[in-house]
Every structure is written in C-alpha cells, then in structure tokens.
Amino acid sequence: MVTENHVCLVHYDRSGVYFSPLIDINKEKETFIRLILGVSSPDEKILGLDTSVQWVIDDVTGRKVSGTVKVDEKDPEKGTSTVVTYDLDMEEPPLIRPRTPGA
C-alpha cells in the first residue's frame, strides 16, 4: 500500500496476511526505491521465491501439469554435495483447501 508519505508491503497467502513495517518514503528514499525495484523484478529469486521448485504451466488451461524440485544432497562420508533434480509426481491432484485457514 502506498500513500503520499508512506509505503507498506502486504502479503496474502493461504497462511494469512503479513504486513511490513510502515516506511516513510520521504525519509527512507533508498529503501522505497529498492522496494519498488524488487517487487517489479521478473527474477523469482529477488522476490524471495523458492527457485528450487519449477513448474510447467499448460498454455490452454493455465494449470500446473508437471514440475521439478532441485535438492542439495550431501554425502557425509565424502564431504561433498550434489544438486539432484527430481520430477514432481502429478499423478494425483494436489491438496487444495476449500477455504483459507482462519477465515
């Protein structure tokens, strides 16, 4: 939310609503600019999204049809780690709650 003097980020998801602290855009100009550039970025990592999960979206329906997840698997004996990509199982539909929790 943006007013003449303040900005506040509001995030809605299935777990509820989150508000950032109120920021005075006249006193914290650099923070305001970083915020605008950050939320307008097409880079999912900059937006704070988990980029280890990637989805393939059906062009016609707009639904997720497949996807992958990258996992950093560690080998304690060798002291190494390897990024392994797994396909997400889409054989059964995902669990979708009929309403938002707490509503």
Q: Give the tens place of pLDDT for each residue, 39-80.
A: 888 888 877 788 999 999 999 988 888 999 999 999 999 999
35, 12: one domain: yes
Residue 81 lies in a domain: yes
Show the domain range for 78: 53-87
Number of domains in the chain: 2
Taking only the tens place, the pLDDT of each residue in 92-102 is: 776 766 776 66
User: Is 63 a domain residue?
Assistant: yes
How far is residue 60 from each of residues 36, 42, 63, 77, 99, measured CA to CA in Å?
Answer: 32, 22, 8, 47, 26
